[in-house]
Amino acid sequence: MDEPSTMDDGSGQHGNRHPVHRPVLLREVLMVLELREGLVVVDGTVGAGGHARAIVPHIGPGGVLVGLDRDSEILVPARAALAEVEAAGAGVRVSLHHLAHSQMHESLAAIGQSRCDRVLLDLGVSSMQLDRAERGFSFMADGPLDMRMDSSAPESAADWLASVGEQELADTIFQLGEERYSRRIARAITAERRRRPIVRTGQLADLVTAALPGAARHGRIHPATRTVQAIRMKVNDELGELERGLQAAVACLRPGGRLAVISFHSLEDRIVKHFLRAHCEVVTKKPITGSPDELRDNPRARSAKLRCGIVREEVA
Ligand SMILES: C[S@@+](CC[C@H](N)C(=O)[O-])C[C@H]1O[C@@H](n2cnc3c(N)ncnc32)[C@H](O)[C@@H]1O
């Protein structure tokens, strides 16, 4: 399952909130990427710059780190984090762009590069996004029902919930949220919106909780976790973006270049697995998961799966 939208620890479990974003599977990512000096690396989901910061020292001098994120707000801390490592004198050029990973060719063209050597995608939302109630990803702190990763995108979660048909809503909650009570929840949402618009995260969370049978309200994760995840994935077209991002990555990578993807949802992992088999020599026969220590310390890592492939040499 994906990392759910909670305010506590990003795991969807009721527990302590962790204030610092910890890059998931960092050691494993560095291992499969096989970095060396002079490489051009695209971090297609740069977020707060956790992985990127760790990559930079391995590609200097002469390397280039291109970081992309759909969320312009998150590029502010990323810029600060990467300015520090740049200043530390690794001799690496860092270039950050407010773009989706499916647009990575534009970011490379903007810095005069046509191809790259490594691509990393760490999917989903970051804990920084979850922690900002006004972005509407969280239901533990009430906020506007937004959930757009790119705030300039036309449709928020509230807009989508106002117009989607009940059947499509139920199917989305079932498929993207893997929520067995999807029909009851869809019925409750469409009934509620006839009374008043659904515009707050707290309102949605209460509505979903009330729609569930008693026993389902007291599980390991918050009862609205799966529904909120499904709505977020739909509003941001996360599976469509993943398909387009993978295509863009193999188009931009030089033959012999490496593509590493961390996913959190079984549907994402399936897409990545099939894509790598079709387009790459697969490095990770089985997905890499977190070490026992990481799984204990970082709840977000519990559903993370890392896969990596090498882009095949072009046949003349
Ligand atoms: C899990 S966080 C990445 C964290 C980052 N690896 C780090 O260590 O700080 C995922 C990030 O990807 C961004 N994102 C999600 N889908 C994207 C897409 N299609 N294109 C670009 N960025 C995307 C989100 O806005 C979020 O900031």
pLDDT tens column, 249-291: 999 999 999 999 999 999 999 999 999 999 999 999 999 999 9
Mark which of 203, 235, 267 sits at the end of a domain.
235
Farthest-apart Cα atoms in the chain, separation: 64
185 with 222, same domain: the answer is yes
Instruction: Give the CATH number for residue 247.
Output: 3.40.50.150
pLDDT in tens, 69-120: 999 999 999 999 999 988 888 899 999 999 999 999 999 999 999 999 999 9
Could you report how far apart the first and last alpha carbons of the chain are, in Å? 41
Mark which of 217, 235, 253 sits at the end of a domain.
235
- Cβ atoms of 10 and 3 within 8 Å: the answer is yes
pTM: 0.92
- Ligand 1 pocket: which of 25, 28, 45, 229 to mutate (most atoms <8 Å of CB)? 45
pLDDT in tens, 166-205: 999 999 999 999 999 999 999 999 999 999 999 999 999 9
Mark which of 235, 262, 279 sits at the end of a domain.
235
Distance CA 170, CA 217 (A): 19
For residue 145, is it within any domain? Answer: no
- pLDDT exceeds cutoff 80 at 21: no
Task: List CB contacts of 45: < 8 A, sequence separation 6 or more.
Answer: 68, 69, 101, 120, 121, 122, 123
- Cβ atoms of 12 and 3 within 8 Å: the answer is yes
Band of pLDDT at residue 1, cut at 50, 70 and 90: very low
- Ligand 1 pocket: which of 2, 70, 234, 264 to mutate (most atoms <8 Å of CB)? 70
Give the model's pLDDT for residue 316. 55
Residue 21 Cα: closest atom of ligand 1: 9
> What is the number of domains present in the chain?
2
Q: Which domain holds residue 193?
A: 154-235
Cβ of 260 closer than 6 Å to ligand 1, yes or no, is no
Q: Which residue in this structure is represented by tokens 């009851």?
A: 184
Residue nearest to atom 27 of ligand 1 (CA): 47
Distance 196 CA to ligand 1 centre (A): 33
